Amino acid sequence: MKKSWMVVAMVLAAGMFSGCVTIDPAVDFVKGELAANNINVKAADIQKAMGYLEKANAALLAEYQPILSAIAGAVDKWEVATTNVQAFDSPEGALYAGFLQDNAKIRVMNKLSVNANPADRTALCKAQKAFGFNQVCFSLTNQGDGGPVPTTFYAGDWFGAVDPAKVKMMREAIMEWKADGFAVELWGPLDESPVIAAANPEQLKGMYEAMVEHFGDLADSWCVGLEIDEWGETWWNQLWHKPDMTTIQGCVEILKATGKPVAVHLTSYKKIDMAHQSGADTFNAQFGWFSKVSQMTEAMAWINSRKGNLRIVATEFNRDSITPLATALATEAMRCGAAGTQTGRPVR
């Protein structure tokens, strides 16, 4: 019997760490959870487990934290193992990127920063190729979204004269990935860049023209920037009192003149109408952090009913592109008609 109440104690501890249970309703919670799995535990044992937890000190809970973390890490694998992800025929030339890893602590899109470690960037390139990715997404201008920052090709932080040394460094980094077989998608400004937020329309136009001039030959595709509807709320809104579609369209036109595919990225896949209005040919859809494959199924059905001629790329759906859940979600996105994925790759 000793083992049974210790097991219950661990169940309760896991619930307390995740915020899903407190001591008062714990008995009913545990009985219900275990009964659902044909495991019957007496109320007295549950009460004993509760008493054990109440007496446990911080050091004891810390001792079990690695175990609880391991349990949490296994959830992704369980989700994949118990989900029937249907097969699909991968479209010819489909591209798969993984621009977020390690709970978004590794942000591949920022690896052109002047503060990025070249050796780390090379190692990441090799690791991503081994995992099966064939596309990389790099931001050319970013002040504050994640790290390392900043990323800029200007002599100063932003605008004005272009710094040839920075351009050279960024081009060499891009060419390293291209030499390893990666298609390259180059992104405009990321959100959380307040200095760029102060830009006037002419500065923005000049920035996109400079992107094309100095990096256009290396781009296989473009994305105007991340969360451009958020830009409209915070800085384009200050200039035009609403998200200015004329300016967005102007940025799209500059990039489309290169003959390469051009995407827009918004804060939600449900803002697909803005993608249509922008003139872009691709919608890099942001879904949020899905925990179940069924969520991707539903979201893609919603998009497919509204996509028209837009090419759909499933861009943001997982904070770690190499987890089993990310793979399952990417597989489902492709099965449902996505042209590519950017925070996971489908089953090989």
- Interval 57-107: pLDDT, tens: 555 556 655 655 555 555 555 555 546 666 667 778 999 999 999 999 999
pLDDT band at 204 (very low <50, low <70, confident <90, very high): confident
Q: Quote the pLDDT of residue 321.
A: 96
Q: Which helix (H) or strand (E) holds 245?
A: helix 245-256
Q: In this predicted structure, which of 55-64, 97-106, 250-259, 307-316 has the lowest mean pLDDT?
A: 55-64
> What average pLDDT does this structure show over 150-154?
95
Is it the case that residue 21 has pLDDT exceeding 60?
no
Is it the case that residue 294 has pLDDT exceeding 90?
yes
Is it the case that residue 4 has pLDDT exceeding 50?
no
Composition of the chain by helix, strand, coil, percent to 5: 50, 10, 35
Q: Quote the pLDDT of residue 20.
A: 43
Contact 275/264 with Cβ under 8 angstroms? yes
pLDDT band at 163 (very low <50, low <70, confident <90, very high): very high
Q: Quote the pLDDT of residue 244.
A: 73
Q: Which residue has the higher pLDDT, 7 or 35?
A: 35
Is it the case that residue 221 has pLDDT exceeding 80?
yes
Q: Which residue has the higher pLDDT, 16 or 119?
A: 119
Q: Quote the pLDDT of residue 245.
A: 82
Is it the case that residue 207 has pLDDT exceeding 90?
yes
CA distances 66 to 17, 21, 63, 114, Å, are 12, 20, 7, 36
DSSP structural state of residue 316: E
> What average pLDDT does this structure show over 132-145?
95
> What average pLDDT does this structure show over 104-113?
96
Q: Quote the pLDDT of residue 90.
A: 74
Q: What angle do CA 218, 221, 223 make, to 5 degrees?
A: 115
> What average pLDDT does this structure show over 120-142?
96
Q: Which residue has the higher pLDDT, 118 or 26?
A: 118
Q: Quote the pLDDT of residue 52.
A: 61
Q: Which residue has the higher pLDDT, 65 or 160?
A: 160
Is it the case that residue 22 has pLDDT exceeding 70?
no
Q: Which helix (H) or strand (E) holds 223?
A: strand 221-223
Cα–Cα dist 226/42, whole Å: 54
pLDDT band at 313 (very low <50, low <70, confident <90, very high): very high
Q: What is the pLDDT of residues 170-181, one digit of tens each?
A: 999 999 999 999
Q: Which of 10-24, 218-232, 281-295 has the highest average model confidence (pLDDT)?
A: 281-295
Q: Quote the pLDDT of residue 74.
A: 53
Is it the case that residue 291 has pLDDT exceeding 80?
yes
- pTM as predicted: 0.76
Peptide bond into 164 cis (omega under 30): no
